[in-house]
Structure 1
Amino acid sequence: MSLSPASWKQALISHIQSLACPTFTLATASISGGTVSPHVRTLIYRGFYGELPPNKYNPQPGNTGYSSDLITFTTDKRMEKFKDLGEVEGVSATSSTGATNNVEACFWIPSKENPMIGKQWRIRGRCFVLPRDIDGAGGDTTTKRWLAERLRRNEGGNGEGFDFGREYKAHFGNLSPVLRGSFRNPLPGAPKELGTGGLTPKSPIGDEELNQEVALDNFRVVVIEPTRVEYLNLDGPLKLVWVPVGGEAEKSEMLGKFGKVDGDWREVEVWP
C-alpha cells in the first residue's frame, strides 16, 4: 500500500460529505444455471475501513491512527447480497457457485442549484465480506494479513497492531438501534406466513447493548478494493479516470502513456 492516500480519495470524501444521506448504488452479478443475472441495490456508505468517525452514541470506538482506501458498507450474511458475492467470507475463499466478487459502486452528487445536474463517481473493484472473528482462534490469517497490508498508520507503517475485533464491534455500534435490531429479525426474504422462527422482529438494540449474539453473528462488514475510479462532473463537463499503475485496467484500456502518475494511481482526463 502506498504511504499516501489514493489521489482521488479526498475529492470523493468531500463530495459524499455534501449528501444529506450518504447512499450509493452497488451493482453485482450472480450466476445460476449458467445464467448471469445483474442486481442493483442502494446502500449506505460507511466510510473507509479503519477510519470510523467518532460517534457519541457508540460506546465502542474503532481503531485510531489508521486509514485505508477500502470503501465499506455493512450487510446481513443471510441476505441475497451475500449470495450474489458467492456466499464466501475472506479474501482467499473461492465461491462454489461461480459467482464473482467484481462490483461497481456509483455515487450521485446532485448540484444544489439544479439537482438534474451534478457529479457522478463510478468505482469498480473487488468486494470482500470480512469474517466476524479474524483475530480469534482459528481466525482467517490470510484476510487479516491482506487488510494489514492495505492499512496505513498515521505515524508511518501498515496495519500491524490493528484490532480487527474492535473494528467489527465499532461498525455494529455505529448503526442506529433499529438497524442493529434488524440483524436479529427473522430470515430476510422469507414469507411472513412461516412465522418469526423464534426471533423478535422490529426490536431495537440500544446503544449500551452491543453484545447481542444473534445480531452480531448475522452482521458483517464488507469492503470494496477499488481497481478503477471514474469521476464525471456535468457542470464542466469534466471526466477523469484513475487506474492503478501497472494494473489490469491500465493495460486493458491502454492508458499507460497518458495522464499523470500520483503514487500508485494514474489519472487520465477523457472525453465525457
Structure 2
Amino acid sequence: MSSIAPWKQALNSHIQSLACPTFSLATVSQAGGISVPHVRTLVFRGFYAELPVNKYNPVASNTGFRSNLIAFTTDNRMEKSRDLGGLEGITSSSLPTVTNNVEVCFWIPSNGENPVIGKQWRIRGRCFVLPRDLGSQDTGAKETKKWLVERLSNDNGGDGSDFDFAKEYKAHFGNLSPSLRGSFRNPLPGAPKEFGDGGLTPKSPIGNDQLDNEVALSHFRVAVIEPTRVEYLDLEGPSRTVWVPVGSDAEKSEKLESFGKVNGIWREVEVWP
C-alpha cells in the first residue's frame, strides 16, 4: 500500500486552477546510437485511480482509491510509445530502462498582471504504458497489475487488491470527448498520407453509445508516471522546494541525505531559487 506524497495536495490544487490542465512531457529516445530529445504537450488525466468527475462520462470509474501516479492517455501506435522503449507493461527487464525515464513540467500562471510570474512544478519519474488487459496471464500484465496494486491505497484502509483495472481503462476512454475517442480508429498517426490509409479511413466521433468500438479500444492506452523527484518553484515568493524519496539515487546524487525533513518516504528540502 502506498502513502500519499506530501507534495501531492499542493500540486493537485494548482492543477485544478488551470483552465486546461496540460503539462509538458520530456523524453529521450535512441536513434542510431544518438540520444534524441522530444517534448510534447499532454493533458493531465488525474492521478491514477482518481479519474476526475465528468458529468458527460457514461462510464463509472473506481471510487475510494488513491495513488501518486500521474496519468495520461495515448494512442499506442504513436511515436511516444516507441520513445518510451516500446514497452507495454512492467517486467523485471523494463524497470531499469533508460528510455522510460521522463520529466514533466506544469506551469501555473500568476493571477496578477505579470505573465512571466507564476509557479512551476518539475517532476522526474519512470513512465509506463499500461497494457489494455491487466487481467490476462501475460507476464507484463501480471507484473504490471502487481506493481500498481502496491502503489494504490484504499480510503477504507488496505491496498489496491480490490481495484477494478478493466473498469478504470473503460472509464478513461469514456472520459474523452467523442471526437478524441474517434481519433483512435483513424489511420496510423504520423504516417505520410501518400502511403494510403492502411484500411482505416478517418472515422466520425465515437458517441456514448459506441464505447465498445474494438478498433479504437485496441489502440487506446492509459500511461502512468511514477515520480522519483519533485521540484516546486514559486516565483512569487520566491521559494523552491525539492522532494526526493529517502535512500533514492536522487537523494544521493544531490547529496541531500542530511538536509530538510522527512515525511513518510519523502525528504523535503528547501533550496535557493
Q: TM-score surpassing 0.5?
A: yes
Which residue of 1 is the match for residue 104 of structure 2?
Answer: 105
Equivalent in the alignment of 1:57: 56
Whether 1:164 and 2:165 are equivalent positions in the alignment is yes
Q: What is the aligned partner in structure 2 of residue 233 from structure 1?
A: 234
8 Å contact kept, 2:45–2:52: no
Q: How many residues align?
A: 269
Deviates more, 1:44-53 or 1:131-140: 131-140
Aligned counterparts of 1:200 and 1:94: Cα–Cα separation in 2? 37
Say yes or no: does 1:15 pair with 2:42.
no
1:137 Cα deviation (Å)?
4.6
Q: Is the 8 A contact 2:243 2:266 kept in 1?
A: yes
Name structure 1 gaps, 5 residues minimum. Answer: none
Secondary structure of the residue aligned to 2:81 is helix
Distance 2:15 2:52 in 1: 14
Q: Structure 1 residue 201: deviation in Å? A: 1.3
Question: Which residue of structure 2 lines up, in the alignment, with residue 66 of structure 1?
Answer: 65
- 1:269 alignment partner, SS class: strand
Which residue is 1:121 aligned to?
A: 121
Tell me the distance in 1 between the aligned counterparts of 2:73 and 2:201: 21
**Deviation of 1:145 (Å):** 0.4
Cα distance in 1, alignment partners of residues 200 and 106 from structure 2: 35
- Residue 250 of structure 1 is matched in structure 2 by 251
**In structure 2, distance between residues paired with 1:138 and 1:26:** 29
- Partner residue in 2 for 1:192: 193
How many Å separate the matches in 2 of 1:164 and 1:121?
29
User: Offset at 1:202?
Assistant: 4.7
Summarize the alignment of residues 257-268 of structure 1 with structure 2, pairs less than 5 Å apart: 257-268=258-269
Q: Which moved more, 1:190-199 or 1:42-51?
A: 190-199
* Contact 2:2/2:150 (8 A) holds in 1: no
CA distance in 1, matches of 2:21, 2:168: 20
Instruction: State the AA in 1 paired with 2:147.
Output: W
Q: Deviation per CA, 1:184-215: give whole Å up to 9, x if none.
A: 01000111122222223151000221101010
What SS is found at the alignment partner of 1:64? coil
The whole-number CA distance in structure 2 between the counterparts of 1:104 and 1:52 is: 22
**Unmatched 5+ stretches in structure 2:** none
2:152 aligns to what?
151
- Aligned-pair identity in percent equals 70
What do residues 227-262 of structure 1 show as CA deviations (whole Å, max 9, x unaligned)?
000000000110000001111111111111111111
Q: Check 1:74–1:206 CA distance in 2 against 1; reply closer, same or farther (3 A cut).
A: same
Say which is worse superposed, 211-220 or 193-202, in terms of deviation. Answer: 193-202
Structure 2: how far apart are the matches of 1:17 and 1:9?
Answer: 12
What is the Cα-based RMSD across aligned positions, in Å? 1.4
Which moves more between the two structures, 193-202 or 144-153?
Answer: 193-202
Partner of 1:78: 77
Following the alignment from structure 2 to structure 1, what is the Cα–Cα distance between the partners of residues 227 and 138? 29
Question: Scaled by the length of structure 2, what TM-score is found?
Answer: 0.95
Matched, 1:132 2:122: no
Whether the aligned pair in 2 keeps the contact of 1:104 and 1:125 (CA below 8 Å) is: yes
How far is 1:39 from its partner? 0.3
2:160 aligned counterpart, secondary structure:
coil
Please tell me the residue identity of whatever aligns with 1:236: G
Does the aligned pair in 2 maintain the 1:77–1:218 contact within 8 Å? yes
